[in-house]
Amino acid sequence: MLTLTSPVETWAHRLPAAGKLAALAAGTTVLFVVDASWILAVALAAAGALYLSGGMRFAAAGLRQLYPLWPFVVIVVLWHLWTAEVAAGIAILLRMVTAVALANFLTMTTRLSDMLVVFERLARPLSPVLPPRRLALAFALVIRFIPVMLDRMGLIRQSWSARSPRPSRWRVMVPATLAALDDADRVAEALRARGGAE
Amino acid sequence: MERSLTHIALFAALIAVLGLVPKIDLAAGVPITAQSLGIMLCGTVLGAKRGALAVILFLALVAAGLPLLSGGRGGIGVFAGPSVGFLVGFPIAAFVAGWVMERTTLSPAVAATAASVIGGIGVLYVFGIAGMALVLGKTLSEAAFLSFAFLPGDVVKAVIAGLVTQSLSRMRPASLLSRA
């Protein structure tokens, strides 16, 4: 499965994931405390510089990752033009775009496996109720079963359209959910037969 | 133990798959994504605790960098954007939906629809609106006004969640862990 990690190798790929995550948490907190537009503008410029330090291709990919924000940008722009509080609107937009851009930078420069290791480490205080190995197994199961279920969803759709001229709509949900429940039972049996999940 | 784990993991995968299937499919003319339907089903089928854990597992994989949210979004950036409230509300919505489902003796269709409305719309919107107000710098009522665009689609999804839960309870009564 494709992840959001950038295939363009940058210097930030080599930094430890936990350190990047801590820096991101600190940076985002600062962004939401600061209200002055010029500081937020400097932060956005810094984020832009971070992306450019990875090269043009990396920066362009980063820009594309921000695209889903456009409806919110339009809403904020229209809203603040209408209420004539333009300065406040600028601060809000700068903060939102910078926060998302910084977080995306972390995701684009960190491999999925590294992030999951950090999560497993963060969950270690929970180990009496949630053994780390069980968490790792849960991650692996989800990642393995997404393509299996996607394929099966396609098959269910095909068999519907082979039998009915009408579109399938929500009815495919029933066999899809049922199959997930059955799979869960079978995988549980299989795990048990192999010594069980601890 | 293994059964709980596999149910949680496979429903986390189901939420992901529902976000990846093309839109428009679920109801005539209303372009909605099925992802929040998956959240509702986690509650109504798995029950409060397992449902919420499945959603948390799904969100952890999204945060880790898999583009599993509808529209192929993902990564930790989605937790910094305006929809953060909805994401934080997802597991709580599943928990409340499951809790309602476990506590009533109504027929599965009615109970699951009601549970989805209470959890998947009522509780979810409280969190979603608060998150939107925070990120977009709006008051709660202004953010609520912006969120109501999603309401018709979510009502359709709650009804579908009820229908799917009912069908499951007929085909495989034992599979409804929320009523076990």
Q: Which residues pair with B73 in a beta bridge?
A: B69
Answer whether B49 touches A (CB < 8 Å).
Answer: no
Q: Note whether residue A3 is domain-resident.
A: no
Per-residue pLDDT at A128: 86
B96 half-sphere exposure, CB direction, 13 A CA radius: 19
Mean pLDDT, chain B, rounded, equals 88
| Sign for the pseudo-dihedral over CA of B3, A136, B94, B10 | negative
CB contact under 8 A, B71 and A68: yes
C-alpha separations of B71 from A85, A157, A176 in Å: 32, 20, 20
Per-residue pLDDT at A86: 86
Q: State whether A117 and A142 are in the same domain.
A: no
Q: State whether A43 and A83 are in the same domain.
A: yes
As a whole number, mean pLDDT of residues A136-142 equals 93
Per-residue pLDDT at B23: 58
Residue B48 has pLDDT above 80, yes or no: yes
Per-residue pLDDT at A33: 87
Q: Which residues pair with B107 in a beta bridge?
A: none
DSSP A190: H
Of A102, A170, A196, the CB nearest to B27: A170
Q: State whether A27 and A115 are in the same domain.
A: yes
Residue B30 has pLDDT above 50, yes or no: no
Place of tokens 């992306």: A51
Q: State whether A115 and A38 are in the same domain.
A: yes
Q: State whether A72 and A61 are in the same domain.
A: yes
As a whole number, mean pLDDT of residues A117-124 equals 91
Residue B11 has pLDDT above 90, yes or no: yes
Place of tokens 């998956």: B38
Q: Which residues of A fall within a CB distance of 8 Å from B160?
A: 170, 173
Q: How many CB pairs below 8 Å do chains A and B form together?
A: 194
Q: What percent of chain A has pLDDT over 90?
A: 57
Residue B26 has pLDDT above 70, yes or no: no
Q: State whether A65 and A150 are in the same domain.
A: no
Residue A20 has pLDDT above 90, yes or no: yes
Three-state DSSP class for B73? strand
Domain hosting residue A16, numbered range? 11-122
Model confidence at A168, pLDDT cuts 50, 70, 90, reads confident
CB contact under 8 A, B168 and A79: no
Alpha helices in A53-172 (DSSP H): 56-65, 70-83, 86-108, 112-122, 132-163
As a whole number, mean pLDDT of residues B38-62 equals 95
Domain count, chain A: 2
The domain boundary, picked from A96, A122, A148, lies at A122
Q: State whether A76 and A142 are in the same domain.
A: no
Domains and CATH numbers, chain B: 2-171 (1.10.1760.20)
Alpha-carbon radius of gyration of chain A: 23
Alpha helices in A13-55 (DSSP H): 17-33, 37-52
Q: Count the Cβ atoms, other than its own, within 10 Å of residue A49.
A: 10
Per-residue pLDDT at B159: 93
pTM: 0.91
Higher confidence at residue B118 or residue B1?
B118
Whether B34 contacts A169, CB under 8 Å: no
CB contact under 8 A, A181 and B10: yes
Residue B98 has pLDDT above 90, yes or no: yes
Three-state DSSP class for B26? coil
Residues 6+ apart with CB under 8 A from A171: A160
| Sign for the pseudo-dihedral over CA of A95, A96, A98, A99 | positive
User: Can you read off the two tokens belonging to residue B167?
Assistant: 């069908």
Q: Is the ipTM of this complex over 0.85?
A: yes
Q: Count the Cβ atoms, other than its own, within 10 Å of residue A193.
A: 9
User: Can you read off the two tokens belonging to residue B72?
Assistant: 């192929």
Per-residue pLDDT at B160: 92
As a whole number, mean pLDDT of residues B47-71 equals 93
Distance CA B19, CA B71 (A): 7
The domain boundary, picked from A122, A153, A176, lies at A122
Of B58, B135, B164, the CB nearest to A177: B164
- What is the distance in angstroms between the Cα of A114 and the nearest Cα belonging to chain B? 9
Q: State whether A62 and A110 are in the same domain.
A: yes
User: Of B108-117, B120-129, B132-141, where does mean pLDDT reach its minimum?
Assistant: B132-141
Residue A143 has pLDDT above 90, yes or no: yes
Distance CA B35, CA B22 (A): 11
User: Can you read off the two tokens belonging to residue A191?
Assistant: 């795990």
Q: What percent of chain B has pLDDT over 90?
A: 57
